[in-house]
Amino acid sequence: MAESPTPGDAPVSLNEARGWLRLGATIDDAVVAGLVRAATNICEAFIGQWLVIRAVEELLPLKNGVVQPGARPVVAIDGVTLLLPGGEEVALGDGDYRTTVGRDGTARVTLDDPRGAARVRVAYRAGIAEGANGIPEAIRQGIVRMTQHLHEARDGAGAAPPAAIAALWQPWRRLTLGGGQ
């Protein structure tokens, strides 16, 4: 999956997490913030989707004039650049490629004339919601509970996360079989 250089906003605030953990104001803020980030990363990996919309650029191999960005759900393709064999880069206009986004948020970009390029750079945005308030409450509750689990396990307790977390996230889980390319 693609990695965004800038993570999205946290879908759970520090105050929410601190309240759930029954911690006083500003106690362990750095630790709790890190646990919220870790829980968010675990959630995104489990459901196969980014939560808060963020931008990414991805270098992709071009196969038969088609590329498929790795992050989901794709909300917009912002630009496509051909990386030609001689090192030249050619930015394509909107009319030089077609974008199809499936119901599962997977995008497919088809180039009309790849000009011999074997790779392209695709700039796009992906995520379920614009901000934390647009994230479904079940996902947010799972992140809070995962934060609690990570907080309790930070001293080496190796218990598995509660099954309730997976149950909260399961309706949003998107799996693919094979490479999809």
Beta strands in 22-173 (DSSP E): 54-61, 66-67, 74-83, 89-92, 97-101, 107-111, 119-126
Residues 6+ apart with CB under 8 A from 18: 24, 25, 27, 29, 32
pLDDT of residue 9: 77
pLDDT one-digit tens code per residue, 164-173: 999 999 999 9
Find where tokens 């064999």 sit.
Answer: 85
pLDDT one-digit tens code per residue, 69-89: 999 999 999 999 999 998 999
Q: What is the mean pLDDT of residues 60-67?
A: 96
Q: How far apart are CA 176 and CA 133, in angstroms?
A: 28
Six-digit token string for 3: 């990695």
Q: How far apart are CA 111 and CA 96, in angstroms?
A: 6
User: Considering the entire predicted model, what is its pTM?
Assistant: 0.85
